[in-house]
Homo-oligomer: A and B are copies of this chain.
Amino acid sequence: MPRVLSSEVSVVDGRKQKVLATLIDDYIATAEPVGSRTLARKYAFGVSPATIRNEMADLEELGYLEHPHTSAGRIPSDKGYRYYVDRLMRPWVLDAEVIEQIRATYRVRVRELQWFIHQTARLVADMTAYPTVVLAPPLREARLWDLRVVAIEPETVVLVLRTDTGIIENRTLALPEGLEAKDVAAMAEDFTVQFRGTPLAQLEGRLIDGLSHQVGSAWRFWEEMLRWLAEAPDEEERVTLGGALNILNYPEFRDVSKVRRVLTFLETEQAVDTLLTLRPEQGIHALIGSETDREDIRDCSVVMASYQLGNKVVGKLMVLGPKRMEYGRVYAILEAVSEELSRVLNWA
């Protein structure tokens, strides 16, 4: 016979909140269902297990807790975690040491986006001890600012591309028969003049109007090169994964098939990509269990953050862990890292 509870929406009672918070903390720490006795003994509630039991029954009634089976302790439901993340979780303060470690990571002279992305993935994975994914800005949407050609050997050039957002990409290419580096350089200059400001994704289409007077081999070369500008960096390199093996440390992944599901998900670029592009909001967000809407990671949670380039959100980072992940710590780390990354990417 359920008691009448004051509200479905919120856990009004202060003690209920404390029970829920403590239980979730304990479960996060131990990965074992938590019973009333453990809770009463391990944490100094002024009340007996029986009272806790009643509270827990209520919390279950309200949907914040679940029962694996009759005689096990309780574990948080997705709703429980949600409430915890939104209202109960204590804000986590990072050590000065940790902050310094983040700063130090970016205190370098290198100005390659890809380098920063890599460093970030690794840094966050190491700090959180969860697998981490970083999504690079969509180069397709950036606008052409400058295209340079550097001759290295008679038939080899380095193309250096710079976008309006300051992203610099470069690639070494072989010239086709009959095309000289200085021709290409001249073409690149024309090209820059003509197309500065055009989104990279549109360049391929524009080529037809702009360069159709070129001769055969040159035409093919530009075609190939444009394909690189417009496509390659997006599809292949947008997603960087760090610390994938961290997942193996959590007891919920003692089963290889689960490990495979999750790791495959992380390595499958589209999945992550869609997940990240789904929520373009700023700030730190968590998706808990089924909230992720992905079958493969149904029993995982993700916490994601974004970073900016020129005051515009251009990329994301995401930490994936078991649902009982340490949300507080991860939030704090992601907040610090994404802020620092934004700062440093704007070459401030």
A253: B residues at CB distance < 8 A? 256
Q: A149's closest neighbor in chain B, by CB? A: B150
A309: CB under 8 A from chain B?
A: no
Smallest beta-carbon distance A250→chain B, Å = 10
Q: A169's closest neighbor in chain B, by CB? A: B172
Chain B proximity mask over A149-173: 1 for CB below 8 Å, otherwise 0? 0101100101010100010101111
Q: Which of A152, A166, A248, A263 has the most B CB atoms < 10 Å from its CB? A: A152
A267 touches B248 (CB 8 A): no
Chain B proximity mask over A130-166: 1 for CB below 8 Å, otherwise 0? 0000000000000000101010110010101010001
**Copy number in this complex?**
2
A264: CB under 8 A from chain B?
A: yes
Interface residue stretch chosen among A107-115, A292-300, A311-319: A107-115
A174: CB under 8 A from chain B?
A: yes
A158 touches B170 (CB 8 A): yes
Interface size class of A (residues with CB under 8 A): 35 or more
A110: B residues at CB distance < 8 A? 171-174
A264: B residues at CB distance < 8 A? 245
Residue A150 contacts which of B153, B160, B174 (CB distance < 8 angstroms)?
B160
B156 touches A111 (CB 8 A): yes
Chain B proximity mask over A244-271: 1 for CB below 8 Å, otherwise 0? 1100100001111001100110010000
A148 touches B150 (CB 8 A): yes
A153: B residues at CB distance < 8 A? 162, 166
Chain B proximity mask over A201-232: 1 for CB below 8 Å, otherwise 0? 00000000000000000000100100000000
Residue A245 contacts which of B146, B156, B267 (CB distance < 8 angstroms)?
B267
Q: A176's closest neighbor in chain B, by CB? A: B109
Smallest beta-carbon distance A143→chain B, Å = 16
Q: A251's closest neighbor in chain B, by CB? A: B256
* Distance in angstroms between the alpha carbons of A267 and B224 in the assembled complex: 34
Can you list 20 A-B pairs, Cβ within 8 angstroms, ordered by A? Answer: A109-B173, A109-B174, A109-B224, A111-B172, A112-B172, A148-B152, A150-B150, A150-B158, A152-B160, A152-B168, A153-B166, A158-B158, A170-B170, A174-B347, A244-B244, A245-B263, A245-B264, A248-B259, A253-B256, A254-B256
